[in-house]
Amino acid sequence: MRITEVESFAVSIPLKEPVAFATRVVEERDHAIVYVRTEDGTEGLGYTLGYGGADVVAQAVESVLAPMVEGEDPRDTSRLWREMFDGTVQIGRKGVMVRAISCIDTALWDIKAKAAGMPLYKLLGGHADEVPAYASGGYYREGKGLEGLREEMERYVERGHDVVKMKVGRKPVEEEVERVRVAREAIGPNRTLLMDANGKWKNKQEAVRACRKFAEYDPYFIEEPVMPDSLDLYREVNEALDYAVAGGELEFNRYGFRDLIREDAVEVIQPDVTVVGGVTEWMRVANTAASHDIPVAPHYNWDLHIQLLAAIENGLWIEYFYRDSDVKAFDDVLEHPIEPEDGMIQLPQRPGHGVELDRDALEAFRI
Q: Which helix (H) or strand (E) holds 280?
A: helix 278-291
pLDDT of residue 47: 98
pLDDT tens by residue, 46-92:
999 999 999 999 999 999 999 999 999 999 999 999 999 999 999 99
Cα distance between the two ends of the chain: 32
CB 348 within 8 A of CB 354: yes
pLDDT tens by residue, 125-184:
999 999 999 999 999 999 999 999 999 999 999 999 999 999 999 999 999 999 999 999
pLDDT of residue 313: 97
Q: Residue 25 corresponds to which amino acid? A: V
Cβ-based burial of 363 (10 A; exposed 0-12, middle 13-18, buried ≥19): exposed
* Angle ∠(319,163,155) on CA atoms, nearest 5: 95
CB 307 within 8 A of CB 124: yes
Closest C-alpha to 341, from 191, 164, 159: 159
For helices 77-87 and 278-291, the axis angle rounded to 10 degrees is 100
As a whole number of angstroms, the distance between CA 275 and CA 96 comes to 9
Q: Class for domain 3-117+357-365, per CATH?
A: alpha beta
pLDDT of residue 68: 98
As a whole number of angstroms, the distance between CA 329 and CA 72 comes to 34
Measured on CA atoms in the order 164, 167, 172, 175, is the torsion positive or negative? Answer: negative
Q: Establish whether domains 3-117+357-365 and 122-346 are of one fold.
A: no
pLDDT tens by residue, 251-310:
999 999 999 999 999 999 999 999 999 999 999 999 999 999 999 999 999 999 999 999
CB 273 within 8 A of CB 249: no
Q: Which helix (H) or strand (E) holds 304?
A: helix 302-309
Segments making up each domain of the chain, as ranges: 3-117+357-365, 122-346
DSSP string for residues in 146-166: HHHHHHHHHHHHHTT-SEEEE
CATH number 3.20.20.120 given to 122-346: yes
pLDDT of residue 219: 98
